Structure 1
Amino acid sequence: MTFINNGRAIHAGPNFPTFIRQDCSTSPDIILTNNQAHHHIYSQPGPITTSDHIPIILTISSSPIHIPASPRLNYRLADWNNFRTTAENALPDTTPLDNTTLEDIDTALEQWFSAIKTGIAASIPMTTTRIINAQRHSPELQALQTQYTRLYNLARRQGLTYDEYREYRQIQEQIKTLCRRLTNDHWNHKILQLTNKYQDPATFWKEIRLLKGTDKQPTPYITDEQGNKIHDTQDQLDLFTQHWRDVFRISDDENDDFDDDNEHRILQLLHDNRHRTYPHDTADFSRLTHDNPLIRPITIVELRAVVIKTKNTAPGRSGINKQVIQECSQTLIERLLEIFNASLSAGYYPDRLKETP
């Protein structure tokens, strides 16, 4: 701490537990760099060994560090003009949906999703890495690195004169100074943003660790009734499903004690109001009326306004997020609007829209 407080050393991690015992996990291991360090540093847990300490793999690079990540779309490199053209051409049928069946609505919605996915596949590249949050190279830094590379290559070919060597050393110091300034400015800006956004200290430091490249901890295991540790996510889901199924299962004795008259009354009520709870067989836009706010037609202005106000969250299984919908052409938006109004007029909520991530 004395070296760090005096500015002679910099704490560089690790940001994960490196010593795990039965009752706790701590980080007694520490990575320190001297005050001349200006490279990008990323630490990650190594493979389990016979030691009670987890090995640390440290990556040092003069460029921003890329680490493996789950495949995802890179929207920053998207060709949105090609997306709109490809998606429109992939939309096979725009037959009016008035007086059509519920199956026709489902088909139209599936065609719309398929067209959007075709446009995404043709226009938005996939990336399998992510960059550890760090300062980007400024034009000034890139110019210094170009000069440094020129002198370095010259030294390898024929050596340097005294003046060239002095320039070489000066550029080295300028690069160090500029990198440290860019790093400080970058982190000061990020920390200020997090300070204003997260008032809870635990949440604040969690975000700091994520910015440093520390992945979220894996889902902890749960134990079944036999004490077996369940790590797989699907097995955990099955275990929870079975548990709650058992909790809410009615025994034969409980079922015998149930009020038959009350059950009959409820079933009769549902039967009598079937016409109010079940959708119509077909869509009929004439059912949409401005007199009732619940069944008035949706307008294109309302649809675009809702999209703008929607948070840009994970798209889920469909792969279609807010940005993709915003970039849709007028034809694609109008088709989606017609599908919504057809569903509304039929009192029908398509299963395709009920899917969760």
Structure 2
Amino acid sequence: MDNCDLDKLSVNGAQLCPSFKPDITLYTATVPSSINSVKLDLLTSDSGASCKILFGDGSRTVNLSDGLNRIDIEVIAEDGTGKTYSIELTKLSASEASLRALAVEEHHQLHPVFSPDLYEYSCAVSFDCHVVTIQAQAPDHNMQVTVKEACSSGSVPLNVGDTLVTVQVTSPDGTNLQVYTITITREHIPFPVTFCDVKDQMMFECPVSLNAFYRPVSINQSDPKAIFSSPYIDMLTQRSKVHPFTECPLGDSWKVAETELDKRMSSALVNCFFAHRGCKSVLKLGEIGAHANDCPYKPPLALNTKDVTETNWYRKHFTSSSSWEIETKHSLQVGQRYFSHHS
């Protein structure tokens, strides 16, 4: 017989990738740092065929070293035909600290795409997204993974502008630490913001947009301290790198992110965007966007003309015959003569 296939191949405590098929001869697997040996479970398709493990002492119990261990399994058919199956089995080091996967729930995209050896990422979310959950998975369950900004529930509250999320991975032996960061940026709030406290209104208002700060930054060493919304100061300094108020030149690293200000502002109380329509809700600025989507006072996307024409305001100013008295005055001066006409 010339059948030199394996009918079964598995590694106790490890998952082969890809899943075993007799015609696939190369596999990979990873085991945590606490695993010092694995047991191979294999069976030839033909009872007359023989197999030999070309690793260590040839035993089906394989002792592992840190790093890559290549285990070759030679299968010989009755007629001498041979085939070699290989398993590249990686034992993680107890001093290694890394992630196997990192994601922001709700299908928010990381930029760049995650890779274990890339440590800085950005992510954009909508203005009404005020909390996210970070999914961080280590290749070794003995590694300790901590999302430093997460609440006890595991969720991360977001500032109105930028939120820096830090994911810390500690090696099993505690000797190494690796930090991954995600800067999550919310879209600009598309409504005017009214703070409940007049002091907050003054403290958190951009001097250019005259609305709440968005991703606030200050000009380094400015006196008095000048703070702007990031998009507006970028626009003002696009052509000339000078202070927009004093016209003094801006040096290197002139822009300073005001993350603490952003955090305080996100916790300040504001009125609903639709207070003018009757909503009495008062929420934190960081949470008002989610409320706005479901606010019962939110105007419909498709405005019905009757919503306007049947209001008392419209009837008073537009439907009454005496509502408008328009005076026009035409004047013409030619030489020394002056003509005037009223209608």
Measured against the shorter chain, the TM-score band is under 0.3
Structure (1 or 2) with the greater helix fraction: 1
Structure number with the bigger relative contact order (C-alpha 8 A, sep ≥ 6) is 1
TM-score with structure 2 setting the length: 0.21
Write 1 or 2 for the structure with the bigger share of strand: 2
